[in-house]
Amino acid sequence: MKLEGLHLLFTYRCIMECDHCFVWGSPSSEETMTLKQIGELLHEAEKLSTVEWVWFEGGEPFLYYQIMLKGLSKAADMAFKIGVLSNAYWATCREDALEWLRPLAELGVASLGLSSDSYHGDDVEAERVKNGVEAALKLGIPVDVMATSKLPEKLAGLPGGVGELMYRGRAAEKLVEEASRKAWNEFRECPYEDLVNPKRVHVDPLGYVHVCQGLTIGNAWQNSFSEIIRSYDHSNHPIIQLLVEGGPAALAEKFGVSQQEEYADACHLCYMVRLALREQFPEWLTPDQMYGIQNT
Ligand code: SF4
């Protein structure tokens, strides 16, 4: 695997509980990475010599602002390009947004993604994202608005745009009602992730290394992250090898689960099959947080 992007799910905590959130971020989620853990991961990533980007995301990384800044600073010192994803809850006005973002500009943050859409709610949210974008542009931070549904009018013309909604995580529970459906056996490939040679992985505060949210290949607090990446072979992974061979439908077929219904997309089927298989594969389909179970 030639890993290029390390995405730190720095915290599962968020001030919101968005219906489309892949990781079930919530105010009641506790887990957050420490500075020591971030430092260890960065050293492990450095050993690989292939990682270019380190992202801080969540949850909402600005909730642990000082630790985020220190972590970004460490990553920048090690010559990684650094990026941050946030919901811009902190951008209460443009002047204050400038103060929040000035340290990020000084650290050389090379990409800032600010999420906004109707699932995030009202006009106030859109106003905050607008404040954040304007402040970032003023400070010279490359910035994009990231939305998974219609962009609020207020944000029209700003950089970024609407991405595709994927029905996994909380979206598989909260948003599928209104989606059109197809038969389970039509989903014969994973449309979004390169599962043979992943270019990016997410690492969460519990140490789990995810090739897709809730689909893990090891634990970086228990084993060396660089070794997990170097030794990755999709054909040795009981879930991923099937996803590569025939998508979520192959997984459903092999284990005889989730074949009775129609699904909104490949991720919806994949998520529901994985949910049904968690007891059988606790090592690979984890943690509880990624499947909507908190504080256990
Ligand atoms: S949920 Fe399954 S189908 Fe969707 S991106 Fe992840 S691995 Fe691929």
- Please state the atom number of ligand 1 nearest to the C-alpha of residue 271: 1
* Nearest-angstrom CA–CA distance, 65 and 190: 35
Would you call 96 helix, strand, or coil by DSSP? helix
Q: Choose one of 193, 200, 263, 269 to mutate for the ligand 1 pocket test, by most ligand atoms within 8 angstroms of C-beta.
A: 193
> Ligand 1 within 6 A of 271 CB?
yes
Task: Identify the residue whose C-alpha is closest to ligand 1 atom 6.
Answer: 212
pLDDT of residue 119: 52
Would residue 257 count as lying in a domain?
yes
pLDDT of residue 122: 65
Residues 6+ apart with CB under 8 A from 178: none
* Nearest-angstrom CA–CA distance, 73 and 80: 10
pLDDT of residue 222: 97
Total of domains in the chain: 1
Residue 237 belongs to domain spanning: 5-86+164-291
pLDDT of residue 295: 57
Angle ∠(70,290,128) on CA atoms, nearest 5: 55
Would residue 140 count as lying in a domain?
no
Q: What is this structure's pTM?
A: 0.94
> Ligand 1 within 6 A of 38 CB?
no
* Nearest-angstrom CA–CA distance, 114 and 39: 25
287 to 6, 149, 204, 281: CA distances (angstroms): 19, 27, 9, 11
User: Which residue did the predictor score with more confidence, 150 or 191?
Assistant: 191
Would residue 131 count as lying in a domain?
no
> Ligand 1 within 6 A of 287 CB?
no
Chain segment 43-83, per-residue pLDDT in tens: 999 999 999 999 999 999 999 999 999 999 999 999 999 99
Q: What is the CATH number of the domain that holds 202?
A: 3.20.20
> Ligand 1 within 6 A of 215 CB?
yes
Would residue 97 count as lying in a domain?
no
Chain segment 184-234, per-residue pLDDT in tens: 999 999 999 999 999 999 999 999 999 999 999 999 999 999 999 999 999
Would residue 42 count as lying in a domain?
yes
* Nearest-angstrom CA–CA distance, 245 and 86: 35
Would residue 23 count as lying in a domain?
yes
Would residue 11 count as lying in a domain?
yes
Q: How confident is the model at residue 296 (pLDDT cuts 50, 70, 90)?
A: very low
Would residue 241 count as lying in a domain?
yes
